Each structure stands twice: as structure tokens, then as C-alpha cells.
Structure 1
Amino acid sequence: MSFLLSFSAGFALSASLIIAIGAQNLFVLRQGLKCQHVGAIVLFCAVSDAVLIIAGVNGMGALVSALPVLSMGFTLAGAAFLGWYGVQSLRRAVRHDSMSIVAGQGVSLRQALAAVAAFTWLNPHVYLDTVLLMGAAAMAQPPSARPVFAAGAVSASFLWFAALGYGARLLQPIFARPRAWQSLDVVMGGIMLMLSMSLLWSSFFHHCLTQE
């Protein structure tokens, strides 16, 4: 029974962290709507989460928190990428360039994986949430139950990304209209620019604190 509770605790915590509107989820949703490279993107996101979760459970959070320069580098790189992608999304919407669901349209597999890799690994929040928070929660578990806790967290990640990527096609009738794609691009652009500014502000605030 204790192992079942540990699995459930890991599953619930992981689900609460990843089921939120963010840059990565919006990109997975967009590719799912286009039915392009869904399997590869879902697998990349889930495996990346699994690597981060296992790293957190095994104590990597202490290393991340002990290297503020590394954290600052990820923050600035993530802010730059999110700002660039946000501007591109808004440009598509303004120029009526938003994609419709047409076979053969979209990005290549390499471009899609490069984008989702940036959304995943250049996001400093993923290290705070998945590595530090997950690691701290795992430490509250008995040592023998920590692998089960991690298994629950990883299961939630695989289930979520599969549901988001493959379930997005259910919304295709709505996105058969170009205006719906424009609206999605506006939402994506706005959220990513806000995330970019938030990262820059947190970086500036942290720098000011360290200078005092």
C-alpha cells in the first residue's frame, strides 16, 4: 500500500506541474493540431521530463541550486528564445500567415525537435519545478519508495504529453478556420512574450539581490 501511495504522490505532483498553459504545451498542441511529427515530439517531451525527474530524485537539485551562473545562463537563453518565438507567432497572425491544416505544410522533423528542445531545456522553470521541487518531494519519501515515486511522476508525464499531442486532433474542426489559427498564434505569442519578460525581470531582480 505504501508503494501505491508513493506512486500516486509522484503522479499527482508531476501532473500538477505539467498540466498548465506554457510554451512547451502550446507547441505540442500546435503540432498535434497539424498532425505533424506528433510521436517524435511527444516522446522527446516525455523522455526529457523523465530524465529531469530522475535527476531531481537523485539529488541533482542541490547541484543546480549551487551553480547560480548556470541558472542565469539558462534564464537569459530561455528569455531570448521565447521572445523570438513570440514575435514570430504574432507576425504570423498579423500577416494572416497562420497555418491551416493542410498536408505537407509546416516544419521539418529536425526543426520541430530543435524547437521543442529549446522550449524544454532552455526553460529555467523546468529545473525549479521538475528538478528542485520534485527532488525535495522525493526526499520526503522513504529511500525504498523513491523509485516508485519517480515512476509515478514519469507516468504522468508520458500520459499527459500523449493525450495533448494525439488528443489535439479532436479540435481540428475548430481549427479548420484560418481565424482560429490566428487566435492561437496571438495567444502563443502573447504568452511567450510575457514568459520572456518574466524571465528577464527575475534575472534582473536576482542580479540586484546578489549585488547588495
Structure 2
Amino acid sequence: MTRTFFVAGTDTEVGKTYVTAGLLASAAARGLKTAAVKPVASGCTETEDGLRNEDALQLQEAMTMDLPYQQVNPIALEPAIAPHIAAREAGRVLDVGRMAGVCRGVMSAGADLVLIEGAGGWRTPLGPRSFLSQLPRELDIPVILVVGMQLGCINHALLTAEAVRRDGLALAGWVANFVRDDMARPQENLATLQSLLPAPLLGIVPHDPGADFRRAAEHLDISPLLSP
């Protein structure tokens, strides 16, 4: 049975890709077949093979299935700006239905675990009346929340968890990712989040300047994601 989760962040630059790749590596260490999708990515670089995104390439490296880049990252946008603005400047329309179709293709490819990584925070716009949060709703899949451990993270985490629940989706788990090494009162913040977030803590990832997802995997426990 394929288990699929949408990985959301409390904000941009909170380590969604780093944690997603770590979760994939943790699953692979348990002998699971894994796949991932980054449906839309801005900040891509032009290569001889076309536009490529560093985050999507990292997911491609971390997963065990051999999928073509276009299936991992179907929508690649060059400017490192909000996706809906980058798409508008490129004359493209970001369509949730098309993204869902690509995701379903990966979900049916035979993996044990599929992780679909979002962009930015939960309410990242795709257009005038659409948001990326509509994708997990369309797919009806639970959410993993990456909390960037820094000042303000409690408010961001609780508001995101509330929005996920209001959208009718389950919060399957959350990860505390220390994006800084100088956070004041880290244990107190962790304790507050654990007492208020209605989902299991999948891991506490220490700050790693090298951002090696293999090291992140050592601090992650995917067991709650695999329980019936």
C-alpha cells in the first residue's frame, strides 16, 4: 500500500526540502521504496537539460525510485520569487488539476512512501483565486508540517495547523527543524509546541550548516506515518 503525505512548512526557508529528503532517506533505511514530487518550484537554473531546481534535484537524489525530472518537478520557474508571480511573468497558468494528475501518476508508480513537497507556506498563492493548499485537498492526503525553529515559530506553527484542519485534512506529524543555532530558549519552545500541536513529533533536527539530509535522517522517526 502506498502512503502519501504533503509536506508543508510554517514559512519559506524553514528546511522543507532538507526534512523531506531526510524522511525519504529514513524510509529507505527501513527498506521502503520511496518517491517524491515538487509540483512547482521557482528559483530554477537553466541547464542543457532545461530548467532545474536545486530542491527537486535533492529529492530526486534522496528517493529510491528512478523517475524523470519532469515527473519530480513538473513546473519549473526561473526567478526565485513567489510562484504565482514567476508564472505570470512567464505567461504560464498554475493549474491544481494538472499538478494533481502528475502526483497521482507518481502515487500509482509502486512506491511505499510518496512525499509531495509544497512551496513556501500553507497558503502560497498559485493565481488570483487558487492556492497550493488546494493540492493536498484535491488528493485528500494528510500533511506533515516542518516547523522552522526560530523566534515566532509557535504562532506560525499553530496557525498553519489550524488552517490544515479547517481545510479538512489531517496533520500526520511535525518536525522541529533548527534553522538557526542561536535560538533563545529552544527547549521551552519545543515543549510548548509539543503541548499544543495535535500530532506526533517525528523528530528534532539540529542545525546543520552543511544541510546534509542523510544526517537529518538520523534524527527522524517515520514510524507514526506507517501505523495503520
Bin of the TM-score, shorter chain as denominator length: under 0.3
TM-score (norm 2): 0.21
TM-score (norm 1): 0.22
Structure number having the greater strand percentage: 2
